Structure 1
Amino acid sequence: MDLEQKYKVVYVTDLQESLDFFLTKLGLKLHEHLDIPGRDRAAVLQMFDGDFLMLLQNEELEKVPVLLYTDDCLRDHHRLSVENVMGLTAPMYSPEGVTIAFPDPCGNKFILLEKRDYTDT
């Protein structure tokens, strides 16, 4: 068991539509479906860095942008462009690395970050 792996929970209003988006358009992998007592089903996806994203059906969406990490932001930008994801931003370079932003089908805002070290060694 890798204790360094992290879970991020994201509320979605339509679990199936969100699953289709993250699996097909973003290329994440389905890890497992969960039945949570007193709630609708949830899905756990494996992200690019091995961490996990849990999609949990809920009427309320996330209030702040959800930060996800990737190993190749330009690849993911190209993939999302080809899939015609509405609201996709152009790659932006910052001291932390390269970022893109996009909404999911439910209206949550996501920021995808590829960490980069710009210091000369």
Structure 2
Amino acid sequence: MKKPTIKHYHVRVSNLINATAFFRERLNLPVKLKSLRHFEGAIVFYSPTIQIFISERIYPKQTTEIHLDTEDCLEHYYRFKANNVVFKNEPHYLPHGLSVEFTDVDGNNYYLLESRSY
């Protein structure tokens, strides 16, 4: 059996405490503070196959665009919106599924995508 590939995103934040609160309180995601030889920050566990490494420090391959798969885009949209997450658009259809974009407290862009075959 092939092990699932884990996708890691490295995201820079201006304040680790505020960023951690955003993921825990607004998105209801587990966050674990980490201090490793090569990383200082926190790991957000979005799913078994997607982890987001957040840090105030600069690391190679940091990104401001994070793509998150979901089985129910509308459920995430309404739950996050109820927790005061700022969305850049309404859920809309793309050729590959239903998508919506939101930002974190530092303006990083997160794209939720519910893959669909039309």
Question: TM-score, normalized by length of structure 2?
Answer: 0.79
Distance 1:99 1:49 in 2: 20
Q: Report how far residue 70 of structure 1 moved.
A: 1.9
User: Aligned pair 1:45/2:47, yes or no?
Assistant: no
Contact 1:89 1:102 in 2 (8 A): yes
Q: CA RMSD in A?
A: 2.5
> Residue 38 and residue 82 in structure 1: after superposition, are their counterparts in 2 closer, same or farther (change >3 A)?
same
Report what 1:8 is aligned to: 9
CA deviation map 1:87-121 (0-9, x unaligned): 44210111111111111001112211121222xxx
Q: Percent identity?
A: 26
How many Å apart are 1:37 and its aligned residue?
Answer: 4.5
CA change 1:84–1:66 in 2 (3 A) is: same
Give the match's secondary structure for 1:27. Answer: coil
> What is the identity, as a one-letter code, of the residue corresponding to 2:29?
L
Matched, 1:23 2:24: yes
Letter in 1 for 2:52: L
CA displacement, residues 23-62 of structure 1 (integer Å, 9 cap, x when unaligned) = 22122222x32114486x31112113532111121379x6
Whichever residue aligns with residue 47 of structure 2, its letter is: F
1-structure distance, mates of 2:6, 2:17: 25
Aligned counterpart, 1:105 = 105
8 A Cα contact 1:49 1:70, kept in partner: no
Aligned length: 115
Contact 1:49 1:71 in 2 (8 A): no
Q: Answer whether contact 1:72 1:114 (CA < 8 A) is retained.
A: yes
How many Å separate the matches in 2 of 1:97 and 1:49? 21
Give the unaligned 5+ runs of structure 2.
Answer: none
Structure 1 ranges of 4+ moved more than 3 A = 36-39
Whole-Å separation in 1 of the counterparts to 2:105 and 2:68: 16
Greater Cα offset, 106-115 or 51-60 = 51-60
Distance in structure 2 (CA, Å) of the matches to 1:95 and 1:78: 22
